[in-house]
């Protein structure tokens, strides 16, 4: 990968003093950085990092703020990626695209589609920047295809000493193994090269199933489908399932009316109203859940990948997600259901279940093992600690690994046991950032100091 061809005039042109508060999407984190920078090139990014080091400021890049944790919070230099965007190069023969770190996934997906290309797999939200998404381990669901970070073939990293380090499986492979899910602890990503493939079609099949049906046939459903996921609605025995498989076509996207009713009116508009009512009057939640779980009808449609994998998420929420060994999924989920049914909890959001194959990324939640993900949510503004704490106890009992960008209470001592290669990551951090230029309170908790 080559360096960016654009050359800036220096960080001074795009940075300044700041005591304005930065807040994440969910409103769970705020910070007041001493200074902000908005570099428009890798040279300006290098200058910003070197300038902060000279001033004695810590450095944190921030993406779109979709992480629920304080991974990007800083009282030092906050680097905004708004101008570090766009595609550097597309290599059709090699099947790769090199993109600037601040590029939103939605812009990358649309640009690739125009070129007749696509990522192999992706999550269900497109608002994140590419660097923010990979740094926290964003994933979708897949039998054979893994997270967005697992599709990286090379990346460019600005280190604590202001050097530009290009890494891949052949060049600095130890950095490559760790920096694909680097938590912002090893440096600031300036560009990423992804593996892509010719644009294809996915046929989506969405249909309701009961909780017992899904859990009883979970292994079969995962094995028979390239991408399987489901949502269970607490206080009910109802689930909505989704199976995505490649199709020869023709394309058959949802009609305009169907898309509006299912994706906007039911999944966002009425869901917002239902959650607002549930937050105000928690006793109504079980009844609302029974109605909500039956509101979405069965449907099938065929479209290009990002239009099938992703969907609008306009209802704001807080979230915790854990990866457990795939073989432990059914037992873990049944324990979660029993816990909710036996407690006074009122849970208005469905529980999301996805899968991922094992990968070789040092701190990926699927590192070294086939994994299943269980995500618990609550509507923004709803007290969540009791529910999340009780769920977390269950996840931890099944050797769960929390998503790096979602709420959890684990610390470095826990991760040292949960990740066989944890010491490998922290040793690399000691080498690349011995003075902790990229540290913050979150990293001190999860990585130690």
Three-state SS for 176? Answer: helix
pLDDT of residue 336: 98
**How does strand 152-158 pair with strand 77-79?**
unpaired
Higher model confidence: residue 62 or residue 16?
A: 62
* Rounded Cα distance, 112 and 276, in Å: 38
Per-residue pLDDT band at 12 (split at 50, 70, 90): very low
| pLDDT for res 194 | 98
Task: Return all residues near 14 (Cβ < 8 A) that are at least 6 apart.
Answer: 8, 37, 38, 39, 40, 44, 48, 83
3-state secondary structure of 128: coil
pLDDT tens-place string over residues 304-334: 999 999 987 778 889 999 999 999 999 999 9
Rounded to an integer, what distance in angstroms lies between the CA atom of residue 224 and that of residue 382?
38
For residue 6, name the pLDDT band (cuts at 50, 70, 90): very low
The mean pLDDT value for 366-382 works out to 96
Question: What is the pLDDT at residue 289?
Answer: 79
Q: What is the mean pLDDT of the segment spanning 209-237?
A: 97
pTM for the whole structure: 0.92
User: What is 248-266 written as a DSSP string?
Assistant: ----BPPPHHHHIIIIIII
Task: Tell me what the mean pLDDT of segment 67-94 comes to.
Answer: 96
Distance CA 163, CA 170 (A): 19
- Number of neighbours of residue 184 by Cβ within 10 angstroms: 28
Q: Is the pLDDT of residue 20 over 90?
A: no
Q: Note the Cα 414 to chain centre separation in Å.
A: 21
Q: What is the pLDDT of residue 375?
A: 98
Percentage above 90 pLDDT, the chain: 80
Asked whether the predicted pLDDT for residue 170 surpasses 50, the reply is: yes
CA–CA distance, 100 with 189 (Å, rounded to integer):
9
pLDDT digits (tens, 9 = 90+) for 256-265: 655 544 555 4
Whose CA is closest to 382, among 281, 284, 239? 281
Asked whether the predicted pLDDT for residue 220 surpasses 50, the reply is yes
Two tokens, residue 65: 């703020």
Does residue 268 or residue 280 have the better pLDDT?
Answer: 280
**Overall average pLDDT of the 428-441 stretch:** 98
pLDDT averaged over the chain? 92
pLDDT category at 19 given cuts 50, 70, 90 is low
pLDDT at residue 260, rounded to an integer: 45
Structural domains in the chain, CATH included, are 87-198 (3.30.465.10), 201-303+315-402 (3.30.70.2520)
Nearest-angstrom CA–CA distance, 425 and 446: 12
Q: So what's the pLDDT on residue 257?
A: 53
In the prediction, which pLDDT does 267 show?
58
| pLDDT at residue number 276 | 79
Strands 59-61 and 77-79, by their bridges, are parallel
**Residues 176-195: pLDDT tens digits?**
999 999 999 999 999 999 99
Question: CA 67 to CA 28: how far, in whole Å?
Answer: 9
**Of all residues in the chain, what percent carry a pLDDT higher than 70?**
92
Q: Of 141-145, 186-190, 297-301, 421-425, which gets the smallest average pLDDT?
A: 297-301
Average pLDDT over residues 356-385: 96
Residue 153's contacts (CB-CB under 8 Å, 6 or more residues apart) are 96, 168, 169, 193, 194, 195
- pLDDT value of residue 263: 59
């Amino acid at each position: 990968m080559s360096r960016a061809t654009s050359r800036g005039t220096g960080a001074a042109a795009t940075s300044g003093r700041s005591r304005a508060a930065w807040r994440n999407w969910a409103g769970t984190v705020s910070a007041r950085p001493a200074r902000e920078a908005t570099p428009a090139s890798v040279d300006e990014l290098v200058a910003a990092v070197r300038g902060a080091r000279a001033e004695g400021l810590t450095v944190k890049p921030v993406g779109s703020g979709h992480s629920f944790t304080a991974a990007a919070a800083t009282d030092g230099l906050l680097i905004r990626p708004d101008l570090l965007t766009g595609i550097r190069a597309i290599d059709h023969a090699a099947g790769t695209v090199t993109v600037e770190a601040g590029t939103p996934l939605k812009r990358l997906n649309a640009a690739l589609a125009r070129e007749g290309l696509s990522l192999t797999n992706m999550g269900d939200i497109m608002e994140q920047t590419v660097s923010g998404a990979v740094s926290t381990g964003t994933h979708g669901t897949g039998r054979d295809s893994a997270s967005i970070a697992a599709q990286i073939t090379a990346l460019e990293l600005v280190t604590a000493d202001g050097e530009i380090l290009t890494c891949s499986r052949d060049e600095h492979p130890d950095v490559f193994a760790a920096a694909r899910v680097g938590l912002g602890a090893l440096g600031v990503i300036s560009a990423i090269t992804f593996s892509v493939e010719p644009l294809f079609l996915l046929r989506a099949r969405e249909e309701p199933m009961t909780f017992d049906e899904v859990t009883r046939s979970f292994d079969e459903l995962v094995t028979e489908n390239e991408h399987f996921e489901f949502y269970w609605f607490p206080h009910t025995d109802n689930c909505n399932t989704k199976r995505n498989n490649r199709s020869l076509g023709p394309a058959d996207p949802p009609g305009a009316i169907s898309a509006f009713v299912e994706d906007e009116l039911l999944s966002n508009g009425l869901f917002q109203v239902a959650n607002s009512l549930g937050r105000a009057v928690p006793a109504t939640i079980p009844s609302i859940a029974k109605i909500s779980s039956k509101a979405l009808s069965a449907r099938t449609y065929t479209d290009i990948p990002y239009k099938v994998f992703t969907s609008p998420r306009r209802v704001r929420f807080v979230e915790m997600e854990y990866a457990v060994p795939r073989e432990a999924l059914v037992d873990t989920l049944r324990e979660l259901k029993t816990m909710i049914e036996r407690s006074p909890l009122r849970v208005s959001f469905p529980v999301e279940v996805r899968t991922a194959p094992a990968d070789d990324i040092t701190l990926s939640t699927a590192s070294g093992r086939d994994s299943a993900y269980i995500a618990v949510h609550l509507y923004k503004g709803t007290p969540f600690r009791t529910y999340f704490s009780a769920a977390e106890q269950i996840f931890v009992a099944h050797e769960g690994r929390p998503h790096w960008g979602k709420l959890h209470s684990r610390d470095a001592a826990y991760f040292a046991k949960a990740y066989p290669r944890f010491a490998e990551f922290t040793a690399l951090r000691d080498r690349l950032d011995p003075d902790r230029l990229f540290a913050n309170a979150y990293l001190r908790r999860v990585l130690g100091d």
